[in-house]
Structure formats: C-alpha cells, structure tokens
C-alpha cells in the first residue's frame, strides 16, 4: 500500500515507483518521466500525498496534451492542468483547510529548490457520534510546511 509521505528514502522510492507505473500507463509515445527529479517533487508538493488529487492533476495535464495533439506530457501541460484545477476547485475539494487556495504556489513554475510541501499526518474520516451542529466530516491533518530541498538532501 502506498503511504501518504515521501519523507524517508523507502517511502520516496515507493512514491516514485507509483509514478513510474502511472507514467507507463499514459497514452503518449514519449513518456514524461513522472518519477524523475523534474516532476516527482512537484507532484508531491501539489498532491501532499493525496492520490486522488495527484490523479486528477495528471488527468488534467494529459487532456491538455491530447487536445494540443502533443505526443508527450511536459511541464507546460502540468502548469495548465494546475491552473485549471485551481480555477475549478471548490471548498469541499480543498484537501488542506489550513492553507488558503490563493496561498498555494504553482509547483510547476517554481524552481524545485524553492518548493515546500506539507505531508498528510492523518486522513479525513466520518465521525459517527458527532453532536448536533458539529460536522460529521473530520478533515485530514497536515504537517507544517517543510522545504523540499531538505527532502532532496536525504537521498
């Protein structure tokens, strides 16, 4: 099972392996190398370890490439996919309520060394015994911002 973090070497390798499998399933003659240094830190910075959010972004980027009749998925497609995602996200889709949408920089037009990320500490869940007026949905919890450069130093 894929964990929600890429902090240690083993977890980072597991995330990269997942991206390689995803990469191999994309319908392009040239594979983008989602598991390579150009992409994987950006994909994690965006997804925060949330696989649904990651899949949605990759789908948006792939649609952009297909509509442009491109034979590969590149950084420009991810920039466009990110912009589309951020324009169409709703409050209920926001995975980290501690971070305002407008405060989330586009990781696809930011140098890798300057990226920061949050990792999921606990997933959201349904609280069956919520009191009247209390939300039954308990949101996921995330860590403080961590500079991605510290993650990359731990290779």
Q: Render 87-137 in DSSP notation, one character per residue.
A: HH--GGG-S-TTS-GGG---TTSS-GGG-EE--EEE--EE-TTPPTTS-SE
Asked if pLDDT for residue 28 goes beyond 60, the answer is yes
Q: What is the pLDDT of residue 108?
A: 93
Asked if pLDDT for residue 148 goes beyond 70, the answer is no
The CA distance from 129 to 17, in Å, is: 39
Pick from 1-5, 21-25, 76-80, 83-87: least confident: 1-5
Q: Are 112 and 41 in contact (CB under 8 A)?
A: yes
- Farthest-apart Cα atoms in the chain, separation: 55
User: Can you give the pTM of this predicted structure?
Assistant: 0.75
**Nearest by Cα to 77 from 109, 48, 111:** 109
Q: Cβ–Cβ contacts within 10 Å for residue 27, how many? A: 9
Q: Are 136 and 146 in contact (CB under 8 A)?
A: no
The CA distance from 112 to 45, in Å, is: 10
Q: What is the pLDDT of residues 43-64, one digit of tens each?
A: 988 888 778 889 999 999 999 9
- In angstroms, the Cα distances linking 4 to 9, 32, 35, 82, 118 are 13, 23, 16, 20, 11
């Amino acid at each position: 099972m894929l964990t929600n973090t890429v902090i240690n070497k083993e977890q980072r390798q597991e995330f990269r392996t997942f991206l390689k499998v995803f990469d191999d399933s994309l319908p392009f003659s040239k594979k983008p190398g989602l598991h390579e240094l150009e992409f994987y830190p950006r994909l994690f910075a965006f997804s925060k370890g949330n696989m649904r959010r990651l899949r949605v972004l990759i789908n948006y980027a792939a649609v952009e490439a297909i509509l442009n009749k491109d034979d590969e998925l590149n950084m420009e497609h991810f920039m466009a996919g990110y912009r589309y995602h951020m324009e169409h996200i709703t409050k209920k889709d926001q995975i980290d309520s501690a971070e305002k949408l407008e405060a989330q920089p586009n990781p696809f037009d930011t140098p890798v060394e300057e990226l920061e990320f949050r990792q999921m500490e606990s997933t959201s869940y349904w609280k069956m015994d919520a009191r009247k007026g209390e939300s039954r949905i308990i949101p996921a919890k995330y860590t403080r911002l961590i500079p991605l450069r510290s993650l990359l130093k731990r290779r």
